[in-house]
Chain A
Amino acid sequence: MSAPASLLLAWRSIVQFPRNPILLGFSLAPVLMMYLVFGGLFEGVTRLPGFPTDNYFEYLAPTAILLTTVPGIGNAAVALAADFQSRYVYKLLTAPISIGSIVLGRLIGDGLRLCVQAVSVLVLAIALGAHVETGIPGAALMIVLGTLLGIVTFGVLTANLALRTKDAATVQALLPLAYLLIFLTSAYQQPEQIESPVIRAIIDANPAEHVLRPMRELMLSGYDWASLGLGFAVIVALGLIGIPLTIRNYRAVYR
């Protein structure tokens, strides 16, 4: 029995990642640099009353994971658009598979790459004195949450853009949006320490915030099942919005 097409195509991505060291290097290096720079710059925040930890790198680690996974999943769409531009996607479509399995294969392949990269972020955090309160299971859960958020938000959005435009440059132009999604959360400081009520309202409305919070709790305090449940619910809800959008855009392929 042969493997499902999406897994075969995910394997294709995984085999090819080491052949593109620039992708691997430049998708991780800026995150690690930002982590080191911001961790050093905002170290004083830990002295504010009520701050949950005295190690700012510990507070910042879940943010660094999101900075890896959310913009990083954009590569799946860039690669998909490149397959359109090279017309290889049409070769794949002469096999009895759907465009859905091609998109899913890319997302799975890049999702696994991002999991590995997120592990390296956590390793750096631990080297800088951070401690994962929930241990290895909690760390794994944190990475799964971060990767799934990347797939259902930026991954789905950019994959649809790739289906619609078939142009890698257009997809790349959307990358700054991923950073906006993360910066408008409690990524760098706790919401109660943010003075602007408008910004606080935006943070509360940002779905990424509801995934980042349980990730931070896994890092700093332990399992909060209600918070985790809300995080996964947000991911499922975003997926339910993204799937019909993707189905609609399939028509752009079969003209």
Chain B
Amino acid sequence: MTACCPGLTFGAMPKRTPTVRVNGRDKPKQDRLEHVLDELVQPTPGVQDLRSEAIVVEGLGKTYPDGTEAVRGVTIRVAAGECYGLLGPNGAGKSTTVGMLGTLIRPTSGRANVAGFDVVAQPQEVRRRIGFAMQEVGVDAFATARELLVLQGRLHGLRRAESGRRAELLLAMVDLTETADKRLSEFSGGMQRRVDLAASLIHLPPVVFLDEPTEGLDPRARAAIWDALDRLRQHLGVTVLLTTHYMEEADRLCDRLGIIDRGSVVVEGTPAALKASIGSDSLQDVYLRYTGHAFGPNEGALIAMEQAA
């Protein structure tokens, strides 16, 4: 290519290996996540040690004082290191179930053990062992991303230096090193969600709850979160319970799925087994078959029209 304007040249730029600054050192970007995660877990070996069942839920229910029955007798078991998905439309009871497992909502029936502790009788023990990224991201608008992570770490009992070290590594992991010292009010929704995810991991919990982790994100941001989750599981061996209403997300991330409808888990199994059970390659069909309806009345009507066509 030739230059067309004085002072400007176009064409092939010299190739540079993308780098990222982690703990004051430049690292090649492609090795960034591996490096960050390796460094993150080094001083805390055994963080992923858990008994064989990380989450045991039996007949869990929640009825609100106004009589609304949000969750009805949910029973699930999630093995250590497994990624389990609760798949269902809005209002199915997913967030209430995760809220109860995360000790933020008090169950009215049944029992649940997380990381070996009862969510009602031992909520503080449960909280020490879980990370929780909620559907509606709660951030402190006056804080910076780094401050938010450091505070969350310190509230989990980490020393200032260790909390700061992990904050830097986790911010690198979610690709927010450059904006670490900007106020969260200046962040986009997707960036806030990544900060929230990083804050959920600051104490390296063995169990992570992710309530609609990619809700409202564009496909690129969604793929970035999925990638981060994959790597987290590989490196930390964490148990993940996520809720979603995205079929693709459930298929892509989860070892097993529980399809939840009107507050109850109606069927569970691996995505492949669920699809095979009805001879389809679509989780949408699985949902339709086992619940008798599609995701919400409008979506049901749309599917019926498509099938008729």
Contact = CB atoms under 8 A, between A and B. Distances in A.
Interface stretch (A85-93, A148-156, A207-215): A85-93
A94 B200 contact: yes
B139 to A, nearest CB: 6
Interface in A41-85: 83
Interface string A2-39: 11010011001001100110000000000000000000
B255 to A, nearest CB: 24
Nearest to B196: A91
A255 B105 contact: yes
Contact of A87 (B125, B138, B154): B138
B130 interface: yes
Nearest to A20: B142
A86 B141 contact: yes
Contacts of A87: 134, 136-138
Nearest to B152: A95
Interface residues of B, number: 35
A91 B197 CA distance: 11
Task: List the 5 shortest-distance A-B pairs measured between CB atoms, nearest first.
Answer: A87-B138, A95-B155, A88-B138, A94-B132, A16-B142
Contacts of A3: 154
A93 B152 CA distance: 10
A225 interface: no
B235 interface: no
Contacts of A5: 155
B147 to A, nearest CB: 7
Contacts of A95: 127, 152, 155-156
Contacts of B143: 12, 16
Interface residues of A, number: 25
A243 interface: no
B155 A97 contact: yes
Contacts of A96: 124-125, 127-128, 155-157
9 contacts: A2-B157, A86-B140, A87-B137, A88-B138, A88-B139, A91-B196, A94-B102, A96-B127, A255-B105
A19 B142 contact: yes
Interface in B166-216: 183, 196, 199-200
A8 B154 contact: yes
Interface string B250-278: 00000000000000000000000000000
Contacts of B124: 96
Contacts of B57: none
A90 B132 CA distance: 10
